[in-house]
């Protein structure tokens, strides 16, 4: 029988999750030393001197032990404004929570939200910017919204003649490519470009692809430089030293995220409101499994989580190093636990946006065997892999 956990001790959960957000877990390390793009200051720092600089950053944007904003200010770079993505500049906003404009108390720099009224920098926001710097840790999934922010920032820079410098970071899901390629009929902020669910690119490689394939408007006008990582390749295991967002607290959650995010469009919980988000699946029905957890509202992490205060029964994933790659099998198997598709997929439109097509909704409704699902997108995936090769900066 699986170990049973109830997460009623809210203070313990908050302390546990915030530990990951602020300092990361002790397990977070790379196979070998990697030099981040932000650390290659000799490549980009001189280009910022005397310029009005905008930065697109969050809590992962560090140069060694110093946040990029603080580092640039210490080098007398004029940081004009900070553009804050989903989860905010300090990474302390829960999933989907509106991020407001404010001022960074440490540096005194204005913070402009790109996850509130505006998701793309307006022309007015860019008027006093000469060069923009983008430095955010991604996790390699199409529906992880930092890459949509990158897309919009690139478009705004191209339109307003603002130079863009992308400081690259490794992709913890960068060792493979899988999942349906976005059908542009389902384009949204959780699917901005025709890439698969697991795109297999770093932020820098994606930026080159966005421009090279002319997916962004005014692509030819954009003046962009990508500062690559050193010591990284797509075959290696990479575990970010700082949790990339509040509900991806460790490597296991990051690796399961591509497969479990679809449960957000279902009646089942994937552990938001616990210390183990994206590491469990459950539902308030004792027939669903032996493992139990009880979601609770956690400030700045998970406000009003699904099935708050209810004991959920289901399964957890083992604490070992054999973390899976992308699969629809968890979603498919759990759909079998419900009498009809509508009892399970209660937000079909949201499911279509996450998948990037109507594949899952149709397959479940028509009872198409899981073995046939990949056939629906295999040709598109093969074409994407060929496109991807043109923009790779690192061996695979």
C-alpha to C-alpha distances, 124 to 74, 86, 112, 150, 179, nearest whole angstrom: 27, 21, 12, 18, 38
* Residue 245 per-residue DSSP state: B
The strand pair at 78-84 and 52-57 is best described as parallel
The rounded Cα 341 to chain-centroid distance in angstroms is 28
Q: HSE-up of 393 (CA within 13 Å, CB side)?
A: 24
Q: Which domains does the chain have, with CATH numbers?
A: 10-23+246-365 (no CATH), 37-238 (3.40.50.12170)
Three-state DSSP state, 188 = strand
pTM attached to this predicted model = 0.90
Q: What is the pLDDT along the chain (396 residues), one digit of tens a residue?
A: 334 445 444 444 444 444 444 434 333 445 568 999 999 999 999 999 999 999 999 999 999 999 999 999 999 999 999 998 876 665 444 454 455 667 888 888 999 989 878 899 999 999 999 999 999 999 999 999 999 999 999 999 999 999 999 999 999 999 999 999 999 999 999 999 999 999 999 999 999 999 999 999 999 999 999 999 999 999 999 999 999 998 999 999 999 999 999 999 999 999 999 999 999 999 999 999 999 999 999 987 888 999 999 999 999 998 766 688 999 999 999 999 999 889 999 999 999 999 999 999 999 999 999 999 999 999 999 999 999 999 999 999
Tokens of 375: 């056939």
Tokens of 14: 């908050």
Strand partners, 283: 313
Judge contact between 216 and 195, C-beta under 8 A.
Answer: no
């Amino acid at each position: 029988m699986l170990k049973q956990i109830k997460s009623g001790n809210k203070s313990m959960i908050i302390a546990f999750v915030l530990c990951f957000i602020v300092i990361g877990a002790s397990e977070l390390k790379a196979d070998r030393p990697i030099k981040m793009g932000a650390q290659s200051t000799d490549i980009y720092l001189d280009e910022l001197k005397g310029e009005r600089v905008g930065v697109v950053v969050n809590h992962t944007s560090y140069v060694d032990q110093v946040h990029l904003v603080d580092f640039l200010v210490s080098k007398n770079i004029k940081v004009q404004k900070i553009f804050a993505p989903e989860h905010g500049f300090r990474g302390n906003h829960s999933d989907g929570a509106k991020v407001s404009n404010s001022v960074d108390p440490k540096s005194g720099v204005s913070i402009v939200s790109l996850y509130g009224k505006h998701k793309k920098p307006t022309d007015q926001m860019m008027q006093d910017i000469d060069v923009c710097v983008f430095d955010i840790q991604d996790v390699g999934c199409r529906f992880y919204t930092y890459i949509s922010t990158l897309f919009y920032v690139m478009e705004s820079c191209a339109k307003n003649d603002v130079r863009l410098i992308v400081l690259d970071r490794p992709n913890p899901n960068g060792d493979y490519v899988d999942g349906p390629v976005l059908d542009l009929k389902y384009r949204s902020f959780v699917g901005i470009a025709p890439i698969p669910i697991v795109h297999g690119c770093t932020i820098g490689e994606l930026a080159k692809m966005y421009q090279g394939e002319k997916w962004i408007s005014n692509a030819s006008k954009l003046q962009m430089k990508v500062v690559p990582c050193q010591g990284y390749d797509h075959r290696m295991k990479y575990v970010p030293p700082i949790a990339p967002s509040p509900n991806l607290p460790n490597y296991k959650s990051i690796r399961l995220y591509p497969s479990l995010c679809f449960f957000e469009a279902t009646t089942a919980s994937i552990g938001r409101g616990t210390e183990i988000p994206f590491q469990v699946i459950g539902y308030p029905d004792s027939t669903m499994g032996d493992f139990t957890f009880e979601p609770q509202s956690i400030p700045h992490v998970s406000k009003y989580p699904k099935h708050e205060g209810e004991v959920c029964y289901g399964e957890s994933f083992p604490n070992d190093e054999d973390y899976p790659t992308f699969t629809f099998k968890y979603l498919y198997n759990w759909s079998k636990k419900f009498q009809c598709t509508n009892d399970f997929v209660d937000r079909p439109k949201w499911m279509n946006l996450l998948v990037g097509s109507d594949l899952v909704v149709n397959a479940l409704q028509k009872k198409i065997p899981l073995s046939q699902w990949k056939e629906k997108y295999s040709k598109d995936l093969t074409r994407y892999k060929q496109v991807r090769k043109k923009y790779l900066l690192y061996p695979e």
